[in-house]
């Protein structure tokens, strides 16, 4: 679909801007190949490679070739081709979304051209444009490319030799997905020449699906019947019918629970393992003990556990044990009878009674005194409580979920926590990892917090700059998810209208203290990448000034930079250490654009 920026312009302006061809490509306008290379960063210490906020993997081409050959052998050529085409299509659509989000003010032609350039950057193919014309408003599209040195062809030829059919299946899917995402309609690429059939190079032509003769020949490979999900279903056989009255699958309930303020977001293996555990324990009444550092989301997990359990219709009551004085903790948990002490003018139910039928979440359980621990142990054992000053026992049906940010076993050994209470709480332990051990989740959380605070404060923020993304991906987050949430909230407040969040908006208290990561330089070599922020001096490329100089530059500096760059806004922005969107915003405010 067209980008949000395109939706805000008039139809006439959209037609003027979008009816373009390869002749209009501005080699200095974003995103250039250098911009794309700078968005690529390597973090050897934690074993990750990032393209902006997308995790990448560096594989041998032969490894992919072995996987491709195995798919063909196991599934047959038609199903393997469909699967790889669909995987390529999804990758292309994701890259198109990344380009629109990272460079929202990019010229449409350059944004389209970024797709082949990203393939080139990834070592997949070397593209050469023959013809390239499109009109978003009218829905017309025509692209013609030479693709040289296709790695997909290399591996196919090595495994199967020359044949009679083209073999660049993932690349066909990628090009189709990338173009379709920008055009808002189904664009199909066909490979009319291929090295796998003996041609000197591959040649791809892209058009809207309806403009091809026999479009069903292409759509056949995108059809759900040959999708990976369809293949899995055929291998697994028919799924058993659910039993009458059976509850919904935990995953579905979890998704529903995550649609509101308490959404659990994550794709990392450690996060997925913790999520799987709460799905397993949710249908039972077992006591759950969450452990993990402060800010890791223990209460959020507890809320989700409650939401997907049979107790979801009853109350969820949370107690921060560390925030209640020892003299009041018993009254807070178990309630007070009238006249129990001075000031108790009426009877009051405690948290156990208020959570009747539901879930009682006891956060920072290790802060309870020995006296309070004994009272809690009896309540857990007997499922009965007595109010302070009361003489009758009250039966309670409550699921207790506890959380701690310290090692309770160590507290037991030190004599600060009752061993019998520990074993009563430790029925089903779930350890939550710190955010630095689940970096794959950071991009999802960034987008979620950006949407939340943009809506909450009525701010329209144009995403994040590439260096802000790199800084967040490489930061260790001692405050975990809570700190990331605070940083994004700060960034939404600090950034101007339609301005992307930059490092200076996020890190204002010296949080980043050391260089981290590697990034390709102009010569292709990996060089040390600094996560720029307060307290860190960054070294700009030759001929450029530090980013902070751009932030404090005046109207004359902007004009000088524009003149030096021959009014190429993107090039001027780079010379000032700004993004194109930032410079355009400042020029508009000064009446220079």
Sheet bearing 288-291, strands edge to edge: 316-320, 359-363, 399-404, 288-291, 428-431
What is the distance between the terminal CA atoms of the chain, rounded to a whole angstrom?
A: 28
- Identify whether the C-beta of residue 503 lies closer than 8 Å to the C-beta of residue 465: yes
Q: What is the pLDDT of residues 114-138, one digit of tens each?
A: 888 887 778 888 888 888 888 877 7
Claim to verify: residue 36 and residue 141 sit in the same structural domain? yes
Q: At what angle do helices 370-382 and 326-334 cross, to 10 degrees?
A: 10
- Identify whether the C-beta of residue 53 lies closer than 8 Å to the C-beta of residue 469: yes
DSSP three-state, residue 550: helix
Neighbour-count burial of 237, counting CB atoms closer than 10 A to its CB (0-12 exposed, 13-18 middle, 19+ buried): exposed
Q: What is the pLDDT of residues 78-117, one digit of tens each?
A: 889 988 998 888 888 888 888 877 777 777 777 777 888 8
Claim to verify: residue 372 and residue 304 sit in the same structural domain? yes
Q: What is the CATH number of the domain that holds 123?
A: 3.30.1380.20
DSSP three-state, residue 296: coil
Does residue 174 fall inside a structural domain?
Answer: yes
Question: Into how many domains does the chain fold?
Answer: 3
What proportions of the chain, in percent to the nearest 5, are helix, strand and coil? 50, 15, 35
Q: What is the pLDDT of residues 190-236, one digit of tens each?
A: 999 999 999 999 999 999 988 888 877 777 787 654 333 443 444 44
Give me the sign of the Cα torsion angle 19, 24, 25, 27. negative
Claim to verify: residue 411 and residue 535 sit in the same structural domain? no
- Identify whether the C-beta of residue 386 lies closer than 8 Å to the C-beta of residue 393: yes
The average pLDDT across 350-369 equals 92
- Other C-beta atoms within 10 Å of 223: how many? 12
501 or 234, which is more confident?
501
Mean pLDDT over each residue of the chain, to the nearest integer: 78
Which residues, in sequence order, are CB contacts of 116 under 8 Å at separation 6+?
A: 125, 127, 129, 145, 175
- Identify whether the C-beta of residue 332 lies closer than 8 Å to the C-beta of residue 319: yes
Which residues, in sequence order, are CB contacts of 259 under 8 Å at separation 6+?
A: none
Nearest residue to 348 via CA among 340, 337, 359: 337
Does residue 454 fall inside a structural domain?
Answer: no
Nearest residue to 110 via CA among 28, 230, 192: 28
Nearest residue to 188 via CA among 207, 210, 204, 168: 207
The DSSP call for residue 347 is -
Claim to verify: residue 116 and residue 20 sit in the same structural domain? yes
Cα 224 from chain centroid (whole Å): 26
The DSSP call for residue 402 is E
Does residue 260 fall inside a structural domain?
Answer: no
Claim to verify: residue 131 and residue 16 sit in the same structural domain? yes
Conformational region of residue 383, where left means phi above 0, alpha means psi within -120 to 50, and beta covers everything else:
left
User: 546 pLDDT exceeds 50?
Assistant: no
Does residue 19 fall inside a structural domain?
Answer: yes
Pairing of strands 54-56, 48-51: antiparallel
3 or 193, which is more confident?
193
Claim to verify: residue 413 and residue 555 sit in the same structural domain? no
Q: What is the pLDDT of residue 194?
A: 94
- Identify whether the C-beta of residue 400 lies closer than 8 Å to the C-beta of residue 380: yes
Which of 417, 432, 447 is the C-terminal boundary of a domain? 432
Q: What is the pLDDT of residue 401?
A: 95
- SS3 string, 226-281, reads HCHHHHHHHHHCCCCCCCCCCCCCHHHHHHHHCCCCCCCCCCCHHHHHHHHHHHHH
The pTM score is: 0.60
Does residue 220 fall inside a structural domain?
Answer: yes
Claim to verify: residue 56 and residue 195 sit in the same structural domain? yes
Which of 391, 415, 432 is the C-terminal boundary of a domain? 432
Nearest residue to 43 via CA among 479, 439, 504, 523: 439
Does residue 418 fall inside a structural domain?
Answer: yes
Does residue 438 fall inside a structural domain?
Answer: no
Distance, in Å, from the CA atom of 125 to the CA atom of 119, rounded to the nearest integer, reads 6
Distance, in Å, from the CA atom of 382 to the CA atom of 24, rounded to the nearest integer, reads 78
Give me the sign of the Cα torsion angle 447, 451, 456, 457. positive
Q: Range of 362's domain? A: 269-432
Claim to verify: residue 156 and residue 27 sit in the same structural domain? yes
DSSP three-state, residue 486: helix
- Identify whether the C-beta of residue 197 lies closer than 8 Å to the C-beta of residue 166: yes
Claim to verify: residue 130 and residue 171 sit in the same structural domain? yes
DSSP three-state, residue 384: strand
Bridge partners of 317, per DSSP, are 360
Distance, in Å, from the CA atom of 435 to the CA atom of 440, rounded to the nearest integer, reads 9
Distance, in Å, from the CA atom of 128 to the CA atom of 147, rounded to the nearest integer, reads 6
Claim to verify: residue 147 and residue 12 sit in the same structural domain? yes
Does residue 440 fall inside a structural domain?
Answer: no
- Identify whether the C-beta of residue 146 lies closer than 8 Å to the C-beta of residue 201: yes
Omega cis (within 30) before 160: no
Claim to verify: residue 474 and residue 563 sit in the same structural domain? yes
- Identify whether the C-beta of residue 503 lies closer than 8 Å to the C-beta of residue 538: no
Phi, psi of 149 (to 5 degrees): 60, 45
- Identify whether the C-beta of residue 310 lies closer than 8 Å to the C-beta of residue 358: no
Q: What is the pLDDT of residue 277?
A: 92
User: 299 pLDDT exceeds 50?
Assistant: yes
Which band of pLDDT confidence, cut at 50, 70 and 90, is reported for residue 402? very high
Q: What is the CATH number of the domain that holds 424?
A: 3.40.50.300
- Identify whether the C-beta of residue 544 lies closer than 8 Å to the C-beta of residue 537: no
Q: What is the pLDDT of residues 234-250, one digit of tens each?
A: 444 444 333 333 333 33
Distance, in Å, from the CA atom of 213 to the CA atom of 200, rounded to the nearest integer, reads 26
Bridge partners of 49, per DSSP, are 42, 56
- The strand ranges marked E within 160-242 are 187-193, 202-208
Claim to verify: residue 156 and residue 58 sit in the same structural domain? yes
Phi, psi of 6 (to 5 degrees): -65, -30
Distance, in Å, from the CA atom of 486 to the CA atom of 449, rounded to the nearest integer, reads 9
18 or 458, which is more confident?
458
Which of 432, 467, 482 is the C-terminal boundary of a domain? 432
Per-range mean pLDDT, top range of 37-41, 301-305, 326-330, 466-470: 301-305
Bridge partners of 576, per DSSP, are none
Q: What is the dihedral of CA 138, 103, 22, 566, to 10 degrees?
A: 120
């Amino acid at each position: 679909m067209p980008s949000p920026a395109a939706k805000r312009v008039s139809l006439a302006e959209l037609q003027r801007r979008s009816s373009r061809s390869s002749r209009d490509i501005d080699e200095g306008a974003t995103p250039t190949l250098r911009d794309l290379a700078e968005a690529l960063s390597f973090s050897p210490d934690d074993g990750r490679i990032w393209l902006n906020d997308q995790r990448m993997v560096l594989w041998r081409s032969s490894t992919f070739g072995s996987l491709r050959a195995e798919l063909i052998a196991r599934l047959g050529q038609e199903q393997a081709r469909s699967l790889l085409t669909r995987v390529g299509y999804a990758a292309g659509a994701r890259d198109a979304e990344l380009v629109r989000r990272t460079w929202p003010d990019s010229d449409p032609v350059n944004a389209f051209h970024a797709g082949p350039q990203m393939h080139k950057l990834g070592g997949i193919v070397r593209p050469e444009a023959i013809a390239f014309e499109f009109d978003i408003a009218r829905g017309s599209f025509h692209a013609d490319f030479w693709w040289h040195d296709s790695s997909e062809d290399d591996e196919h030829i090595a495994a199967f030799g020359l044949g009679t059919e083209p073999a660049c299946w993932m690349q066909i899917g990628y090009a189709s997905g990338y173009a379709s995402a920008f055009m808002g309609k189904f664009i199909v690429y066909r490979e009319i020449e291929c090295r796998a059939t003996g041609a000197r190079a591959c040649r791809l032509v892209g058009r809207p699906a309806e403009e091809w003769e026999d479009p069903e020949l292409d759509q056949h490979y995108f059809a759900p019947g040959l999708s990976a999900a369809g293949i899995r279903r055929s291998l697994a056989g028919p799924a058993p019918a659910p039993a009458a009255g059976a509850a919904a699958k935990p995953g579905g309930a979890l998704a529903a629970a995550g649609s509101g303020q308490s959404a659990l977001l994550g794709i990392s293996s450690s996060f997925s393992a913790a999520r799987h555990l709460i799905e397993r324990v949710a249908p039972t009444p077992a006591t759950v003990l969450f452990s993990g550092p402060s800010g890791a989301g223990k209460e959020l997990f507890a809320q989700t556990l409650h939401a997907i359990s049979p107790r979801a219709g009853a109350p969820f009551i949370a107690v921060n044990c560390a925030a209640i004085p020892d003299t009041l903790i018993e009254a807070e948990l178990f309630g007070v009878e009238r006249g129990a002490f001075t000031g108790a003018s009426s009877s009051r139910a405690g948290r156990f009674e208020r959570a009747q039928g539901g879930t009682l979440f006891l956060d920072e359980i290790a802060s309870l005194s020995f006296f309070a621990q004994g009272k809690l142990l009896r309540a857990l054992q007997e499922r009965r409580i007595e109010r302070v000053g009361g003489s009758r026992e009250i039966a309670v049906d409550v699921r207790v979920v506890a959380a701690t940010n310290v090692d309770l076993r160590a507290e037991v050994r030190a004599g600060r926590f009752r061993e019998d209470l520990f074993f009563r709480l430790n029925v089903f332990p779930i350890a939550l990892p710190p955010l630095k051990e689940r970096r794959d989740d950071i991009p999802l959380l960034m987008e979620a917090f950006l949407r939340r605070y943009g809506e909450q404060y009525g701010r329209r923020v144009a995403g994040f700059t590439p260096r802000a993304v790199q800084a967040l991906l490489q930061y260790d987050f001692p405050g975990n998810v809570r700190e990331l949430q605070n940083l994004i909230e700060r960034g939404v407040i600090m950034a101007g209208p339609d301005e992307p969040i930059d490092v200076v908006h996020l890190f204002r208290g010296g949080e980043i203290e050391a260089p981290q990561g590697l990034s390709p330089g102009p010569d292709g070599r990996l060089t040390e990448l600094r996560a720029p922020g307060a307290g860190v001096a960054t070294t700009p490329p030759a001929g450029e000034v530090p980013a902070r100089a751009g932030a404090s530059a005046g109207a004359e500096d902007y004009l000088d930079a524009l003149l030096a760059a021959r009014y190429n806004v993107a090039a001027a922005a780079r010379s000032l250490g700004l993004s194109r969107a930032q410079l355009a915003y400042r020029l508009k405010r000064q009446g220079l654009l």
